[in-house]
A and B are shown apart, each in its own frame.
With several copies, the nearest count.
Chain A
Amino acid sequence: MDFSQFNGAEQAQMTRLIEKKQMQDFMKLYSGMVERCFNACAQDFTSKALSTNEKTCVQNCTDKFLKHSERVGARFAEHNAGMSTLAREQTGC
């Protein structure tokens, strides 16, 4: 996203909106991970407590998912940076 055509007031409002969106995204990441790791790891419903195996599975699932998201985020950022450079070269701006 390129905010260079935004004036000061617009940039300030955009910053607030991005912060709000980041908080929402963080919470969605969190609840999405709960659902994902629950579905992958909780298999036995003859007991109401997590077994040791299930708990380890949830911990690994969480760690791995966070590392996955981070790596995908790095590729995404590179791609966007590449697109911006390309656009600048093509338009001469």
Chain B
Amino acid sequence: MSYLFGGGAKQDTGAVDPVKMEMAVAELDMITDVFNRLVTSCHQKCIQPNPQSHRYAEGELLKGEAVCIDRCSAKFFEVNKVVGERMQAMGGTAQATGGFGGR
């Protein structure tokens, strides 16, 4: 999942701030949690609409499946944004901004 993480650079060394590290780890955990749920949800919506009858006749992504994945991902990001806004509106302290760790 190396595509998820970039990495800036600021080369002065120093002491490790444990609180900062903990926040970063929590953010990292949330990003991968959301990513895993996105993978599962869109797999259900686009690849396995009927698990009982589906026998995986081929290993390639069909054209329709690929298009569905793109739309499904886009909708998932929108839902992420709406849920974040709603939680803030209800007084939550959500720092959610519609991105997953993007600033």
Number of interface residues of B (CB under 8 A): 85
Number of interface residues of A (CB under 8 A): 76
A35 CA to B50 CA in the complex, in Å?
17
Contact A48 B71 (CB under 8 A): yes
Given contacts A4-B8, A55-B82, A75-B74, contact A25 B32 (CB under 8 A): yes
Closest 8 pairs (CB-CB, A-B): A63-B59, A4-B8, A83-B102, A83-B99, A8-B13, A60-B56, A75-B73, A7-B14
Contact A64 B33 (CB under 8 A): no
Contact B94 A30 (CB under 8 A): yes
Q: Which residues of A contact B71 (CB under 8 A)?
A: 45-48
Other than the given A11-B10, A65-B43, 17 more pairs (CB < 8 A) read A14-B21, A20-B22, A30-B84, A34-B34, A34-B37, A50-B75, A54-B75, A58-B56, A60-B59, A62-B86, A64-B60, A67-B61, A68-B42, A73-B1, A76-B73, A80-B4, A86-B102
